[in-house]
Homo-oligomer: A and B are copies of this chain.
């Protein structure tokens, strides 16, 4: 998928919502547990109820790996379902991978080629050669962790390196890498006042923004400082949407939460 195609979808749906498929067997409605693949059944119902309101889906691989082989199968079924039924939707493997070059190439193959996700999240700690195999894949995106939404973000990411915070160094240096137009960045909504400075360093790249809602970030503030002329934002919500209900009407409840967010987004897009 290209940035233009993503932008077209945002315009069409008047939404820049990403739904996080952090599907946890402990939290899905009880009646699904008798299904052959409860995780996939849950995801399918969520996608069916929300795909007109969201432009992206983001399964976090941890929730699938936690079930070993069976979980990996649920992940493959989910991405195959998305690619078949909704090829216009942007898909993110939230895997936070990163290793030496030849090894990162294996992860790039797994997520961007074999499973055919549109993008994968990658950790920057190991530097350029750990990211370049992801960036090399044409028409795919590498979403680099910059400033995350958790408390631990303050341990290293905001520490100053040559008078500049580490996450800014990550933004600046990664912009010099080959195929940097294939970069997006994770920036947590819990740090909305950081967006103005971030946009000065990366005016054009999309930002994937977790932390609105459950973690306390404000959608308005993120848009005020983070939106660019191609929108440039994917706002992620996981638990707030997918666990809105936990009985047989769970998909309808998820749809209602997604609709609330889409309506706020449509308003913000009109004002942009």
Whether the Cβ atoms of B68 and A115 lie closer than 8 Å is yes
A66 at the interface (CB under 8 A from B): yes
Whether the Cβ atoms of A66 and B106 lie closer than 8 Å is yes
Kindly state the separation between the CA atoms of A156 and B125 in the bound complex, as whole angstroms.
6
**A94 CB contacts on chain B under 8 angstroms:** 99
Whether the Cβ atoms of A114 and B68 lie closer than 8 Å is yes
- Nearest 6 interchain pairs by C-beta: A127-B152, A127-B155, A62-B106, A66-B106, A129-B152, A100-B150
Q: For the complex, count residues of A whose C-beta is within 8 A of B.
A: 54
* Partner-contacting stretch, out of A29-37, A69-77, A249-257, A259-267: A69-77
Interface residues of A in 33-73 (CB under 8 A from B): 60, 62-63, 65-66, 68-69, 72-73
Copies of this chain present in the complex amount to 2
Interface residues of A in 97-145 (CB under 8 A from B): 97-101, 103-104, 106-107, 109-110, 114-115, 123-131, 145
Known: A104-B62, A125-B156, A150-B101. A69 touches B68 (CB 8 A): no
Whether the Cβ atoms of A150 and B166 lie closer than 8 Å is no
A159 at the interface (CB under 8 A from B): yes
Whether the Cβ atoms of A159 and B157 lie closer than 8 Å is no
**A114 CB contacts on chain B under 8 angstroms:** 66, 68
Report the minimum CB–CB distance from A156 to chain B (whole Å). Answer: 6
Kindly state the separation between the CA atoms of A157 and B72 in the bound complex, as whole angstroms.
32
A62-B104, A126-B145 given. 17 additional CB < 8 A pairs?
A: A22-B103, A60-B99, A62-B97, A63-B103, A63-B106, A66-B110, A96-B98, A100-B148, A126-B148, A126-B150, A126-B153, A127-B154, A128-B152, A130-B150, A130-B152, A131-B152, A161-B166
